[in-house]
Amino acid sequence: MSAENVEIAKRVVDAFNRRDVEGFFALTVSDFEWFPAMAGTVEGGGYRGREGIEAYLADIGEAWEEYRVLAEEFRDLEDRVVMLGRIEGRGRGSRAWIDSPTGTIFEFLDGKISRIRNYLDQGEALRAAGLAE
In a domain, 119, yes or no: yes
What CATH number did the domain enclosing 10 receive?
Answer: 3.10.450.50
Position 30 in a domain: yes
User: What pTM was computed for the model?
Assistant: 0.91
pLDDT in tens, 1-28: 568 999 999 999 999 999 999 999 999 9
Domain count, the chain: 1
CA distance 129 to 75: 10
16 assigned to some structural domain:
yes
Counting DSSP H helices and E strands in the chain, the numbers are 4, 6
Instruction: Identify whether 56 is part of a domain.
Output: yes
In a domain, 101, yes or no: yes
Domain extent, residue 13, equals 2-128
Q: Of 23, 19, 32, 10, which is closest to residue 110 (Cα–Cα)?
A: 32
Residue 73, pLDDT above cutoff 60? yes
By CB atoms closer than 10 A (0-12, 13-18, 19+), residue 106 is: buried
Q: Starting from the edge strand earliest in sequence, which strands make up the sheet with 28-35, in order? A: 47-48, 28-35, 112-119, 97-109, 80-91, 64-76
31 located within any domain = yes
Spatial CB neighbours of 55, under 8 Å, sequence gap ≥ 6: 47
Asked whether residue 133 is domain-assigned, the answer is: no
Are 53 and 28 spatial neighbours (Cβ–Cβ below 8 Å)? yes
Confidence class for position 48, pLDDT limits 50, 70, 90: very high
